């Protein structure tokens, strides 16, 4: 299915339905815990799957997904998923792997919220944005504004600005208009773990 920029794919509280896999484009993924105002928790890139929890448990959708730019998604209906599972029982394990990936993502969000060093918070948020099943690429470009990155890292614009300057000084990022380039995702991951590449 093809979606134009700004078009909503599904919303929080929608009835369960298709399992979605992002083929091309980018999605904003938002949650609204405890009926709070929606917050951006992820910028999804190709390889992102979602919708399995609502599908398997027959419960309302837990996230809102909106296309950030023209996007193509693979949609598998509940009937198609059941048919696949009837032909291959491994289907259920694969769906469970998607859920485990979302759990890992949620734990990463918690790590962002609990880190006291704002540089680590931003590094973890950026690392989360490029992580895909099977490993992250060696370099990546994330199309986010500073306001969106601040939302992902739970930092104000004023608190975020000096952090980006410092990360750029360390060679971990390069800033552009509504984009952050990560030349070495492994170095960013080391920094997020508190391992510095700076000379002693």
Tokens of 191: 């920094």
What is the reported pLDDT for 114?
81
What is the rounded CA–CA span in Å between residue 51 and residue 89?
Answer: 19
What is the reported pLDDT for 5?
96
Closest to 120 measured CA to CA, from 167, 182, 178: 167
CB atoms near residue 153 (< 10 Å): 24
Backbone angles phi and psi of 72, in degrees to 5 = -120, 130
Q: Are 41 and 74 in contact (CB under 8 A)?
A: no
What is the reported pLDDT for 134?
45
What is the rounded CA–CA span in Å between residue 48 and residue 97?
Answer: 12
Q: Any idea how long the chain is?
A: 200
Element (H, E) at 50: strand 49-50
Q: Are 180 and 186 in contact (CB under 8 A)?
A: no
What is the rounded CA–CA span in Å between residue 114 and residue 102?
Answer: 18
What is the reported pLDDT for 137?
66
Angle between helices 118-130 and 157-169 (to 10 degrees): 80
Q: What is the mean pLDDT, run by run of 10 residues, along the chain of 200 residues?
A: 96 94 94 79 90 92 94 96 95 94 85 85 86 63 89 91 95 92 91 65
State the DSSP code for 138: S
Q: Based on C-alpha coordinates, what's the Rg of the chain?
A: 18
What is the reported pLDDT for 200?
42
Tokens of 197: 């590449």
What is the rounded CA–CA span in Å between residue 145 and residue 127?
Answer: 16
For the chain, the straight-line distance linking the first and the last C-alpha, in angstroms and rounded, comes to 52
What is the reported pLDDT for 97?
93
Query: What tens digit of pLDDT does each residue of 95-153 get?
Result: 999 999 889 888 878 877 788 899 999 998 888 877 644 455 688 888 888 889 998 89
């Amino acid at each position: 299915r093809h979606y134009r920029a700004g078009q909503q794919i599904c919303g929080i509280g929608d009835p369960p339905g298709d399992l979605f896999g992002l083929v091309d484009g980018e999605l904003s993924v938002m949650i609204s815990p405890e009926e709070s105002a929606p917050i951006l928790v992820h910028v999804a890139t190709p390889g992102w799957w979602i919708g399995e929890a609502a599908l398997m448990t027959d419960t309302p959708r837990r996230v809102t997904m909106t296309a950030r730019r023209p996007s193509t998604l693979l949609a598998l209906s509940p009937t198609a998923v059941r048919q696949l599972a009837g032909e291959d029982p491994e289907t259920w394990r694969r769906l469970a792997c998607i859920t485990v990936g979302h759990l890992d993502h949620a734990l990463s969000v918690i790590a962002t919220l609990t880190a006291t060093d704002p540089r680590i918070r931003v590094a973890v948020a950026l690392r989360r944005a490029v992580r895909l099943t099977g490993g992250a690429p060696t370099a990546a470009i994330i199309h986010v504004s500073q306001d969106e990155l601040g939302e992902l890292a739970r930092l104000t614009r004023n608190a975020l600005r000096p952090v980006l300057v410092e990360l750029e000084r360390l060679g971990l990022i390069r800033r552009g208009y509504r984009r952050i380039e990560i030349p070495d995702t492994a170095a960013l991951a080391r920094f997020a773990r508190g391992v510095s590449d700076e000379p002693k």
